[in-house]
Amino acid sequence: MSLKLKLVSPDKEKATHCPCCDSTDVSQEKIKQEFEYGVGKQKTTLYADVVHYVCNACEFEFLDDSSEDARTEAVCRHLGLLTPNEIRNIRKSAGLSRSDFSKLTGIGTASLARWESGQSLQSLANDKYLRLLSCDYCRSLLVNSSRKNIDQKLHPKPLRPRQFRVLTPTDDDIRKSDAFSLREVV
């Protein structure tokens, strides 16, 4: 039996149908999948628990999208980064939509969506920032900040013109200014 692997949709209906012959006689088992991550000297072998499907009619083997999620989680653990679910939970624990979370943190909405879906990984700096936002004290600051911003949107304060301090040059400043000249350095 040759090994043929194909990723299919996580839709339960499709997972119970063989994508090759459309048979419903499909068995599944959870396996530990080995995969390579990195290049050159940084290359390492990682493992992820995935659901492996086998069509009993044509012996076609396939995986679903949950397998990709499991591999992404393994990579995040290897790199010491928050997983997509952990990032999503930080935002949800603050009770904020992606848009509101983005406005309050300065993290782009598209970046946040890619991190939460596992399409890309956050940088180490952004990971540390998200970890700070996950602590109770910082989260309360974030939530209070969001309430304050909402209140300000509903009841904005009138803008006051900025006042600048006026500097008046002294006689000594004027004398130094008049005496100043650029000279060529030899």
pLDDT recorded at residue 155: 52
- Closest CA relative to residue 51, chosen from 36, 35, 67: 67
Tell me if 109 sits within 8 A of 99, measured CB to CB. Answer: yes
What tokens were used for 91? 């935002």
Instruction: Give the single-character DSSP code of 58.
Output: T
Write down the pTM of the prediction: 0.64
Q: How many CB atoms lie within 10 A of CB 138?
A: 15
Say whether 44 sits in a helix, a strand or coil. strand
Q: How confident is the model at residue 85 (pLDDT cuts 50, 70, 90)?
A: very high
pLDDT recorded at residue 122: 96
* Poorest-pLDDT segment among 30-34, 48-52, 151-155: 151-155
- Closest CA relative to residue 76, chosen from 126, 134, 132, 121: 121
pLDDT recorded at residue 12: 47
Q: How confident is the model at residue 107 (pLDDT cuts 50, 70, 90)?
A: very high
Average pLDDT, the chain: 82
Q: How confident is the model at residue 14 (pLDDT cuts 50, 70, 90)?
A: very low
pLDDT recorded at residue 164: 67
**Beta-bridge partner residues of 30:** 51
Q: Which residues contact 15 (CB under 8 A, 6 or more apart)?
A: 8, 9, 26, 28, 51, 53, 64
Average pLDDT over residues 122-145: 82
Model confidence pLDDT, tens digit, residues 44-62: 999 999 998 999 999 999 8
